[in-house]
Amino acid sequence: MQQWNAFYELINSASKRFVILTHQNPDADAIGSSLGWKMYLQKKGHTATVIIPNECPANLRWMPQFDEVITYDANVSSQLRSKELLQHADVICCLDFNALHRIKDLGALAQNAPATKILIDHHLEPEDFASFVFSDTSKAATAQYIFEIIDQLGDGILVDEPMAECLYAGIMTDTGSFRHGNTTPEVHLAVAELMKTGLNVNHVHRSIFDNNSLGRTRLLGYVLSEKLVVLPEYRTAYMSLSIEELKRFNSEMGDTDGIVNVGLSIENVVMSVLMIERRDEIKLSFRSVDQFSVRDLAHKYFAGGGHKNASGGRTQLTLPQTLERFLSILPEYQTELLNVEK
Protein backbone atom coordinates (compact mmCIF):
# COMPACT_ATOMS: atom_id res chain seq x y z
CA MET A 1 0.00 0.00 0.00
CA GLN A 2 2.86 2.38 0.79
CA GLN A 3 4.41 1.75 -2.64
CA TRP A 4 1.06 2.30 -4.35
CA ASN A 5 0.43 5.59 -2.56
CA ALA A 6 3.87 6.90 -3.51
CA PHE A 7 3.34 5.70 -7.10
CA TYR A 8 -0.06 7.41 -7.22
CA GLU A 9 1.50 10.67 -6.03
CA LEU A 10 4.24 10.39 -8.65
CA ILE A 11 1.84 9.86 -11.53
CA ASN A 12 -0.43 12.67 -10.34
CA SER A 13 2.37 15.14 -9.63
CA ALA A 14 3.29 18.17 -11.69
CA SER A 15 4.75 17.60 -15.16
CA LYS A 16 7.77 15.32 -15.21
CA ARG A 17 10.08 13.98 -17.89
CA PHE A 18 9.45 10.27 -18.46
CA VAL A 19 11.50 7.87 -20.58
CA ILE A 20 10.00 4.48 -21.40
CA LEU A 21 12.28 1.54 -22.21
CA THR A 22 11.46 -1.93 -23.45
CA HIS A 23 13.43 -5.03 -24.42
CA GLN A 24 15.61 -5.75 -27.45
CA ASN A 25 13.92 -7.24 -30.50
CA PRO A 26 10.65 -5.68 -29.30
CA ASP A 27 7.41 -7.53 -30.00
CA ALA A 28 3.82 -6.31 -30.03
CA ASP A 29 3.49 -6.40 -26.24
CA ALA A 30 6.69 -4.40 -25.80
CA ILE A 31 5.71 -1.75 -28.35
CA GLY A 32 2.00 -1.76 -27.51
CA SER A 33 2.43 -1.43 -23.75
CA SER A 34 5.10 1.25 -24.16
CA LEU A 35 3.04 3.41 -26.52
CA GLY A 36 -0.14 2.92 -24.52
CA TRP A 37 1.65 4.01 -21.33
CA LYS A 38 3.27 6.94 -23.20
CA MET A 39 -0.09 8.29 -24.32
CA TYR A 40 -1.50 7.92 -20.82
CA LEU A 41 1.39 9.85 -19.27
CA GLN A 42 0.92 12.59 -21.84
CA LYS A 43 -2.73 12.86 -20.86
CA LYS A 44 -1.58 13.30 -17.26
CA GLY A 45 0.48 16.30 -18.33
CA HIS A 46 3.90 14.66 -18.44
CA THR A 47 6.36 14.49 -21.32
CA ALA A 48 7.17 10.93 -22.37
CA THR A 49 9.54 9.34 -24.88
CA VAL A 50 9.82 5.69 -25.87
CA ILE A 51 13.29 4.33 -26.63
CA ILE A 52 13.80 0.83 -28.03
CA PRO A 53 17.21 -0.89 -28.18
CA ASN A 54 16.96 -1.97 -31.81
CA GLU A 55 14.62 -2.01 -34.77
CA CYS A 56 11.18 -3.58 -34.43
CA PRO A 57 9.29 -5.57 -37.08
CA ALA A 58 7.58 -3.63 -39.86
CA ASN A 59 4.15 -5.01 -38.92
CA LEU A 60 4.25 -3.09 -35.62
CA ARG A 61 5.12 0.33 -36.98
CA TRP A 62 1.50 1.24 -37.70
CA MET A 63 0.74 1.83 -34.03
CA PRO A 64 -0.24 5.38 -33.04
CA GLN A 65 2.77 7.58 -32.17
CA PHE A 66 5.28 4.97 -33.32
CA ASP A 67 6.84 7.64 -35.52
CA GLU A 68 8.04 9.32 -32.30
CA VAL A 69 9.86 6.22 -31.00
CA ILE A 70 13.66 6.46 -30.84
CA THR A 71 15.60 3.39 -31.98
CA TYR A 72 18.83 3.50 -29.98
CA ASP A 73 21.12 1.64 -32.38
CA ALA A 74 19.75 3.29 -35.53
CA ASN A 75 22.61 5.79 -35.73
CA VAL A 76 24.97 7.92 -33.64
CA SER A 77 22.43 10.73 -33.41
CA SER A 78 19.85 8.37 -31.88
CA GLN A 79 22.39 7.14 -29.36
CA LEU A 80 23.35 10.65 -28.31
CA ARG A 81 19.70 11.70 -28.03
CA SER A 82 18.88 8.61 -25.98
CA LYS A 83 21.76 9.22 -23.58
CA GLU A 84 20.67 12.85 -23.13
CA LEU A 85 17.05 11.89 -22.46
CA LEU A 86 18.00 9.22 -19.92
CA GLN A 87 20.44 11.47 -18.10
CA HIS A 88 17.86 14.24 -17.72
CA ALA A 89 14.79 12.08 -17.11
CA ASP A 90 12.86 12.39 -13.87
CA VAL A 91 11.39 8.91 -14.24
CA ILE A 92 12.47 5.87 -16.27
CA CYS A 93 9.79 3.25 -16.91
CA CYS A 94 10.99 -0.26 -17.73
CA LEU A 95 8.25 -2.22 -19.49
CA ASP A 96 8.01 -5.90 -20.46
CA PHE A 97 11.43 -7.00 -19.27
CA ASN A 98 12.79 -8.19 -15.94
CA ALA A 99 16.55 -7.63 -16.23
CA LEU A 100 18.63 -4.72 -17.50
CA HIS A 101 20.67 -6.89 -19.87
CA ARG A 102 17.45 -7.34 -21.88
CA ILE A 103 17.81 -3.77 -23.15
CA LYS A 104 21.41 -4.18 -24.33
CA ASP A 105 23.51 -0.99 -24.09
CA LEU A 106 20.57 0.94 -22.66
CA GLY A 107 20.83 -1.15 -19.48
CA ALA A 108 23.95 0.54 -18.13
CA LEU A 109 22.64 3.96 -19.16
CA ALA A 110 19.38 3.38 -17.30
CA GLN A 111 21.10 1.95 -14.24
CA ASN A 112 23.46 4.92 -13.94
CA ALA A 113 20.81 7.57 -14.60
CA PRO A 114 19.66 9.48 -11.47
CA ALA A 115 15.96 9.11 -12.37
CA THR A 116 13.38 7.20 -10.36
CA LYS A 117 12.87 3.75 -11.94
CA ILE A 118 9.54 1.98 -12.41
CA LEU A 119 9.31 -1.67 -13.49
CA ILE A 120 6.07 -3.00 -14.99
CA ASP A 121 6.40 -6.58 -16.21
CA HIS A 122 4.98 -10.10 -16.21
CA HIS A 123 8.11 -12.26 -16.38
CA LEU A 124 9.57 -14.38 -13.61
CA GLU A 125 12.39 -13.33 -11.27
CA PRO A 126 12.67 -9.54 -11.76
CA GLU A 127 16.02 -7.96 -10.98
CA ASP A 128 16.17 -5.53 -8.09
CA PHE A 129 16.89 -2.24 -9.86
CA ALA A 130 13.65 -0.21 -9.64
CA SER A 131 12.11 1.93 -6.92
CA PHE A 132 8.61 0.90 -7.92
CA VAL A 133 8.11 -2.74 -8.93
CA PHE A 134 4.92 -4.04 -10.50
CA SER A 135 5.73 -7.62 -11.43
CA ASP A 136 2.95 -10.18 -11.79
CA THR A 137 3.36 -13.41 -13.76
CA SER A 138 -0.39 -13.98 -13.72
CA LYS A 139 -0.80 -11.15 -16.24
CA ALA A 140 -1.00 -12.49 -19.79
CA ALA A 141 0.72 -9.40 -21.17
CA THR A 142 2.37 -6.25 -19.92
CA ALA A 143 -0.24 -4.40 -21.97
CA GLN A 144 -2.95 -5.97 -19.81
CA TYR A 145 -1.05 -4.88 -16.71
CA ILE A 146 -0.74 -1.33 -18.04
CA PHE A 147 -4.48 -1.11 -18.63
CA GLU A 148 -5.25 -2.44 -15.15
CA ILE A 149 -2.82 -0.01 -13.51
CA ILE A 150 -4.37 2.92 -15.37
CA ASP A 151 -7.79 1.73 -14.24
CA GLN A 152 -6.64 1.31 -10.63
CA LEU A 153 -5.27 4.84 -10.72
CA GLY A 154 -8.85 5.95 -11.42
CA ASP A 155 -8.05 6.99 -14.98
CA GLY A 156 -9.80 4.30 -17.03
CA ILE A 157 -11.83 7.04 -18.64
CA LEU A 158 -8.62 8.41 -20.21
CA VAL A 159 -8.12 5.29 -22.33
CA ASP A 160 -9.14 6.22 -25.87
CA GLU A 161 -9.12 4.33 -29.16
CA PRO A 162 -5.43 4.94 -30.09
CA MET A 163 -4.34 3.75 -26.64
CA ALA A 164 -6.69 0.78 -26.90
CA GLU A 165 -5.21 -0.23 -30.25
CA CYS A 166 -1.73 -0.42 -28.74
CA LEU A 167 -2.78 -2.25 -25.60
CA TYR A 168 -4.99 -4.69 -27.48
CA ALA A 169 -2.11 -5.52 -29.84
CA GLY A 170 0.02 -6.55 -26.87
CA ILE A 171 -2.72 -8.61 -25.24
CA MET A 172 -3.78 -10.32 -28.46
CA THR A 173 -0.29 -11.41 -29.46
CA ASP A 174 0.92 -12.51 -26.02
CA THR A 175 -2.15 -14.74 -25.66
CA GLY A 176 -1.69 -16.24 -29.12
CA SER A 177 -4.91 -14.59 -30.28
CA PHE A 178 -6.53 -15.79 -27.04
CA ARG A 179 -5.53 -19.45 -27.54
CA HIS A 180 -2.89 -19.82 -24.84
CA GLY A 181 -3.46 -20.95 -21.29
CA ASN A 182 -2.75 -17.43 -20.01
CA THR A 183 -6.09 -16.25 -21.44
CA THR A 184 -7.91 -15.63 -18.16
CA PRO A 185 -11.30 -14.04 -17.42
CA GLU A 186 -9.37 -10.88 -16.53
CA VAL A 187 -7.91 -10.80 -20.04
CA HIS A 188 -11.36 -10.82 -21.62
CA LEU A 189 -12.63 -8.22 -19.16
CA ALA A 190 -9.74 -5.92 -20.06
CA VAL A 191 -10.38 -6.40 -23.78
CA ALA A 192 -14.09 -5.71 -23.28
CA GLU A 193 -13.23 -2.37 -21.69
CA LEU A 194 -10.81 -1.54 -24.49
CA MET A 195 -13.48 -2.29 -27.07
CA LYS A 196 -15.78 0.28 -25.46
CA THR A 197 -13.46 2.98 -26.83
CA GLY A 198 -14.51 2.08 -30.38
CA LEU A 199 -11.51 -0.18 -30.89
CA ASN A 200 -11.63 -2.09 -34.18
CA VAL A 201 -10.10 -5.44 -33.26
CA ASN A 202 -10.18 -6.62 -36.88
CA HIS A 203 -8.01 -3.69 -37.91
CA VAL A 204 -5.40 -4.51 -35.27
CA HIS A 205 -5.35 -8.20 -36.19
CA ARG A 206 -4.99 -7.48 -39.91
CA SER A 207 -2.28 -4.88 -39.31
CA ILE A 208 -0.16 -7.41 -37.44
CA PHE A 209 -0.92 -10.72 -39.12
CA ASP A 210 -2.08 -9.86 -42.64
CA ASN A 211 0.76 -7.59 -43.69
CA ASN A 212 3.34 -10.17 -44.68
CA SER A 213 5.89 -9.38 -47.35
CA LEU A 214 6.20 -11.78 -50.27
CA GLY A 215 9.62 -12.76 -48.93
CA ARG A 216 8.25 -13.72 -45.51
CA THR A 217 5.44 -15.74 -47.09
CA ARG A 218 7.92 -17.67 -49.21
CA LEU A 219 10.23 -18.11 -46.21
CA LEU A 220 7.37 -19.67 -44.25
CA GLY A 221 6.64 -22.03 -47.12
CA TYR A 222 10.29 -23.03 -47.28
CA VAL A 223 10.48 -23.69 -43.54
CA LEU A 224 7.37 -25.86 -43.55
CA SER A 225 8.36 -27.87 -46.63
CA GLU A 226 12.12 -28.17 -46.13
CA LYS A 227 13.11 -27.36 -42.55
CA LEU A 228 10.39 -28.74 -40.29
CA VAL A 229 11.42 -31.92 -38.45
CA VAL A 230 9.06 -33.88 -36.21
CA LEU A 231 10.33 -36.34 -33.60
CA PRO A 232 7.31 -38.44 -32.56
CA GLU A 233 9.26 -40.23 -29.85
CA TYR A 234 9.70 -36.87 -28.08
CA ARG A 235 6.47 -35.22 -29.32
CA THR A 236 8.71 -32.40 -30.51
CA ALA A 237 9.03 -30.35 -33.69
CA TYR A 238 12.04 -28.25 -34.54
CA MET A 239 13.20 -25.95 -37.34
CA SER A 240 16.51 -24.21 -38.01
CA LEU A 241 17.49 -21.36 -40.30
CA SER A 242 20.97 -20.27 -41.30
CA ILE A 243 22.05 -16.76 -42.22
CA GLU A 244 22.33 -17.82 -45.85
CA GLU A 245 18.78 -19.16 -45.87
CA LEU A 246 17.48 -15.93 -44.38
CA LYS A 247 19.35 -13.92 -47.02
CA ARG A 248 17.88 -16.08 -49.78
CA PHE A 249 14.41 -14.82 -48.86
CA ASN A 250 15.49 -11.23 -48.13
CA SER A 251 14.43 -11.76 -44.53
CA GLU A 252 13.80 -8.62 -42.48
CA MET A 253 13.36 -8.02 -38.76
CA GLY A 254 10.23 -9.86 -37.62
CA ASP A 255 9.94 -12.20 -40.60
CA THR A 256 10.55 -15.25 -38.40
CA ASP A 257 8.13 -14.16 -35.67
CA GLY A 258 5.40 -16.71 -35.05
CA ILE A 259 6.96 -19.48 -37.14
CA VAL A 260 7.79 -21.47 -34.02
CA ASN A 261 4.08 -21.64 -33.15
CA VAL A 262 3.35 -23.62 -36.30
CA GLY A 263 5.04 -26.66 -34.81
CA LEU A 264 2.44 -26.84 -32.06
CA SER A 265 -0.35 -27.05 -34.64
CA ILE A 266 0.86 -30.54 -35.59
CA GLU A 267 -1.01 -33.46 -34.12
CA ASN A 268 0.58 -34.86 -30.95
CA VAL A 269 3.39 -32.26 -30.86
CA VAL A 270 3.73 -30.59 -27.44
CA MET A 271 7.03 -28.72 -27.87
CA SER A 272 8.22 -26.66 -30.84
CA VAL A 273 11.64 -25.06 -31.27
CA LEU A 274 13.03 -22.63 -33.83
CA MET A 275 16.79 -22.02 -34.11
CA ILE A 276 17.97 -18.97 -36.04
CA GLU A 277 21.55 -18.13 -36.91
CA ARG A 278 22.43 -14.50 -36.30
CA ARG A 279 25.71 -12.70 -36.94
CA ASP A 280 27.19 -13.40 -33.50
CA GLU A 281 24.92 -16.00 -31.88
CA ILE A 282 22.19 -18.58 -32.33
CA LYS A 283 18.77 -17.44 -31.16
CA LEU A 284 16.29 -20.09 -30.01
CA SER A 285 12.53 -19.81 -29.55
CA PHE A 286 10.66 -22.42 -27.53
CA ARG A 287 6.92 -23.09 -27.31
CA SER A 288 5.04 -25.77 -25.40
CA VAL A 289 1.59 -26.73 -24.17
CA ASP A 290 0.09 -27.65 -20.81
CA GLN A 291 2.51 -28.27 -17.95
CA PHE A 292 5.75 -28.78 -19.87
CA SER A 293 8.02 -25.83 -19.02
CA VAL A 294 10.22 -24.73 -21.89
CA ARG A 295 11.40 -21.94 -19.62
CA ASP A 296 13.16 -24.45 -17.40
CA LEU A 297 14.76 -26.16 -20.39
CA ALA A 298 15.86 -22.86 -21.96
CA HIS A 299 17.25 -21.59 -18.67
CA LYS A 300 19.20 -24.78 -17.94
CA TYR A 301 20.81 -25.31 -21.34
CA PHE A 302 20.52 -22.13 -23.44
CA ALA A 303 20.99 -19.14 -21.10
CA GLY A 304 17.34 -18.36 -21.63
CA GLY A 305 14.13 -17.53 -19.84
CA GLY A 306 10.64 -16.18 -20.31
CA HIS A 307 7.36 -17.92 -19.62
CA LYS A 308 6.53 -21.53 -18.90
CA ASN A 309 5.10 -22.14 -22.38
CA ALA A 310 6.94 -19.45 -24.35
CA SER A 311 10.65 -18.82 -23.85
CA GLY A 312 13.81 -17.85 -25.64
CA GLY A 313 17.48 -18.73 -25.45
CA ARG A 314 20.80 -18.16 -27.17
CA THR A 315 24.18 -19.80 -27.63
CA GLN A 316 27.59 -18.89 -28.99
CA LEU A 317 27.82 -22.30 -30.66
CA THR A 318 27.45 -22.85 -34.39
CA LEU A 319 24.05 -23.79 -35.75
CA PRO A 320 24.99 -27.50 -36.18
CA GLN A 321 26.44 -27.54 -32.66
CA THR A 322 23.31 -25.94 -31.23
CA LEU A 323 21.13 -28.53 -32.92
CA GLU A 324 23.38 -31.30 -31.64
CA ARG A 325 23.13 -29.99 -28.08
CA PHE A 326 19.34 -29.70 -28.32
CA LEU A 327 18.95 -33.25 -29.60
CA SER A 328 21.28 -34.56 -26.91
CA ILE A 329 19.13 -33.23 -24.07
CA LEU A 330 15.78 -34.52 -25.35
CA PRO A 331 16.13 -37.95 -23.69
CA GLU A 332 16.24 -36.15 -20.33
CA TYR A 333 12.73 -34.80 -20.99
CA GLN A 334 11.25 -37.75 -22.88
CA THR A 335 9.06 -39.11 -20.08
CA GLU A 336 7.74 -35.65 -19.23
CA LEU A 337 7.00 -34.87 -22.86
CA LEU A 338 5.19 -38.16 -23.42
CA ASN A 339 2.95 -37.49 -20.43
CA VAL A 340 1.81 -34.02 -21.51
CA GLU A 341 -1.88 -33.68 -22.30
CA LYS A 342 -2.86 -32.00 -25.54
Architecture of the domain made up of 2-209: Alpha-Beta Complex (3.90)
pLDDT value of residue 30:
98
CB 29 within 8 A of CB 170: yes
By CB atoms closer than 10 A (0-12, 13-18, 19+), residue 180 is middle
The model's pLDDT over 227-272, given as tens digits with 9 standing for 90+, comes to: 999 999 999 999 999 999 999 999 988 889 889 999 999 999 999 9
The model's pLDDT over 191-216, given as tens digits with 9 standing for 90+, comes to: 999 999 999 999 999 999 998 889 99
The model's pLDDT over 2-41, given as tens digits with 9 standing for 90+, comes to: 799 999 999 999 999 999 999 999 999 999 999 999 999 9
The domain limits of the chain are 2-209, 214-338
Percent of the chain surpassing pLDDT 90:
92
2-209 and 214-338 share one fold:
no
Query: 324, 331, 282, 321: which is closest to 304 by C-alpha?
Result: 282
pLDDT value of residue 200:
97
pLDDT value of residue 307:
87
The runs of H, that is alpha helices, within the chain are 2-11, 28-43, 76-88, 106-112, 142-152, 161-174, 185-195, 201-209, 214-222, 243-248, 259-262, 294-301, 319-338
pLDDT value of residue 114:
97
**What's the 3-state SS for 119-165?**
EEECCCCCCCCCCEEEECCCCCCHHHHHHHHHHHCCCHHHCCHHHHH
For domain 214-338, give the fold: Diaminopimelate Epimerase; Chain A, domain 1 (3.10.310)
The model's pLDDT over 87-112, given as tens digits with 9 standing for 90+, comes to: 999 999 999 999 999 999 999 999 99
The model's pLDDT over 108-157, given as tens digits with 9 standing for 90+, comes to: 999 999 999 999 999 988 999 999 999 999 999 999 999 999 999 999 99
